[in-house]
Amino acid sequence: MFASAAYSKTEYIDFISSLGDFSGNEFAYAPKVTAALGINYAGINGLFGNLNMTYKGESYSDQANTRKLDAHSLINLNTGYEMQPAKAEFYATSLFNEQYETARYSALGGRMGRPREYDVRLSYGFR
């Protein structure tokens, strides 16, 4: 099992540009809180797995702190079977298909995060 958490407080001390005075604002794309939680499994019979959750708190996508990005959590899964020299794996990222923005350019648009993805991988190593 593993867990991590981080807290950061960011602030522009002296940031004056042709677009305005951003002194005192938070850094763009810098959430105050991030966290991860997960569990790994590796059995002696060749089965393995990982289930994890990542959390990213609210942040802004601009130096003026006018375009807020919402907090979001993602759950990811990786499982499979390995018997040297072969391995079969199944991945699922954003398991519950969380919809979230990674950037906001204006009141009308932004960039969305990656949707749920599934992947199957078969590999064989030659020696």
The ranges assigned to domains in the chain are 2-124
Q: What is the DSSP string of 38-85?
A: EEEEE-TTSEEEEEEEEEE--EESSTTS-SEEPPEEEEEEEEEEEETT
Q: What does the alpha-carbon distance between residue 13 and residue 15 come to, in Å, rounded to a whole number?
A: 6
pLDDT digits (tens, 9 = 90+) for 9-40: 999 999 999 999 999 999 999 999 999 999 99
Q: What does the alpha-carbon distance between residue 9 and residue 4 come to, in Å, rounded to a whole number?
A: 17
Percent of the chain past pLDDT 70, that is, above it, reads 100
Angle at 77 between CA 76 and CA 80, to 5 degrees: 160
Task: Supply the pTM of this predicted model.
Answer: 0.85
pLDDT digits (tens, 9 = 90+) for 59-75: 999 999 999 999 999 99
pLDDT at 48: 97
Q: Is residue 116 very low, low, confident or very high in pLDDT (cuts 50, 70, 90)?
A: very high
pLDDT at 107: 72
